[in-house]
Amino acid sequence: MKIDEVTAGVECVRRAGPDVEVAGVEYDSRSVGAGSLFVAMRGGSVDGNRYVADAVREDATAIVTDSAAAFDEVVQAYPQIAAIEVRHGRKALAQLAANFFHHPEQKLALSGVTGTNGKTTTAFLLEGLLNQAQRKTVLVGTIECHVAGKVKPSPHTTPESRDLLELFDEGVRAGVTEAVMEVSSHALDQGRVHGLPFDVAIFTNLTRDHLDYHGTMEHYFHAKLALFDGTLGQPPRVAVVNIDDEHGARFALRAREAGAEIFSYGIETGEFRAEEIRMRTNGMSFRLEAPHGAAEITSRLTGRVNVHNLLAALAAALARGLTLEQVAASSASLPCVPGRFQTVDAGQPFTVVVDYAHTDDALRNLIALAREFVQSSGGRVLTLFGCGGDRDKTKRPLMGRAAGEGSDFVVLTSDNPRSEEPEAILRDVLPGLEATHCEFIAEPDRARAIALAVGAATAGDIVLLAGKGHEKTQTLRTGTIPFDDVSVAMTVLRERRKQG
């Protein structure tokens, strides 16, 4: 493809060098090959402009940069290379990749899910509803990606635009017509989804998280809002908004002002409501009241938070043209999501649950759900949790308070400490936990901590292993190691059973 075709619509500041053929668009110099166009852009922790020489050594034919100095260097040192300076590296990457992959985003109906909690579950549920209506899908999310049923690894909640568009292109070639994706606040703020024409945008909730990146809740709010207010280029056709959340009304207002149709949902308010809710440990049912009519909904999911997730997915599916009869018939067979209230059963007389809850709000909701389930048995809630390293430190005592206020016993341990010392993270959590006067122990080794939590359980109790959910690794200062809460818990349970 000629470089003029690849750069069509890109806001260029300066341009120099020959008219070249482009065989690929890359932002990682390690992926550059002969004929590649390398996009050198400033990131949060790495400046891609440092790797221009590496890209040239790998036979790149064009460099697009967001640095005036890098542009000048390319023009002087590599006159055989096409050089282009742009104002915004990530927005340029999105347009360049869209052009190179022949705009697959325009051949798909895109549904985006954003919010602090519930993105993964809502996206999985919506994809399941679409699949059962015989629609082929791409799913992009935290746990994994799907392309027409084929499972692929997911390095980020929302990939860089180039990787996302390649995934869409693969989907289009496989006959996919719908894409469902989790859209993180980082991706929205950084322009990774710039220019994508979302047909349906879903807001789940907004609670304290990622303030190490966004700084304030208001900045965090506005990052999420970009999916609804036309900041990406155009507003969604339909905005599905959790009106039970305190921020929901603001999202609905801004989306409506931008021209979107609003589908509001909630347990007691909204156009899509859940009434006569009946909870069990292995599922739930409720009557869906909607503008389309009423229907009985049955699900293998449970808990109030999953009522909201299911309402969001049902409303979004209806926005995508499914009928009320279709979504009601499909709800009972929708899959559970790995690491989201996932039970670990080795025949023990108590319940062990693995869940991704990693914010104080999510932890509080998880513990409240567990409390509902042990009320009849008189059992206890035993909660294991930790806080991630190199992330917002201000939420650590809040996590401690949430765990201590709702639990009968807490095991404080490591999550992914990353470059931080695990003991230092635990010390940050302790003020909130100690203020609740809940009985607790601290054990930084997560495997030993799981053994302690499970070992403390008796008949009728529920043990919550919170924070890592579906993750299969743990990131330490010394590197990343294999670690799976489900596998560790199962091993502990089997060993306990052997010992009688």
What is the rounded CA–CA span in Å between residue 496 and residue 346?
10
Please, are residues 168 and 138 in contact by the beta-carbon 8 Å criterion?
yes
For residue 238, the SS3 value is strand
Please, are residues 243 and 264 in contact by the beta-carbon 8 Å criterion?
yes
What is the rounded CA–CA span in Å between residue 432 and residue 262?
39
Residue 50: how many other CB atoms lie within 10 Å: 13
Outline where 415-484 has alpha helix (H). Answer: 422-434, 446-455
DSSP string, 329-383: HHHTTPPPPTTSSEE--SS-SSEEEEE---SHHHHHHHHHHHHHHHTTTT--EEE
The radius of gyration computed from the CA coordinates of the chain, to the nearest angstrom, equals 24
- Comparing C-alpha atoms, which of 312, 267, 265, 263 is closest to residue 286? 267
Cα dihedral across residues 180, 467, 279, 337: positive or negative: positive
Q: Which long-range contacts (CB under 8 A, 24 or more apart) does 271-280 make?
A: 271/315, 272/311, 272/314, 272/315, 273/311, 274/307, 274/310, 274/311, 277/304, 277/307, 279/303, 279/372
What is the rounded CA–CA span in Å between residue 467 and residue 350?
20
Under DSSP, the state recorded for 228 is T
The single residue listed with the structure tokens 């790995």 is 338
Region of residue 210 (phi > 0: left; psi between -120 and 50: alpha; otherwise: beta): left
> Binding site for ATP: which residues?
115-121
- Comparing C-alpha atoms, which of 18, 2, 229, 188 is closest to residue 94? 188
> Binding site for meso-2,6-diaminopimelate: which residues?
391, 415-418, 467, 471
> Binding site: which residues?
29, 115-121, 157-158, 184, 190, 192, 391, 415-418, 467, 471
Under DSSP, the state recorded for 154 is -
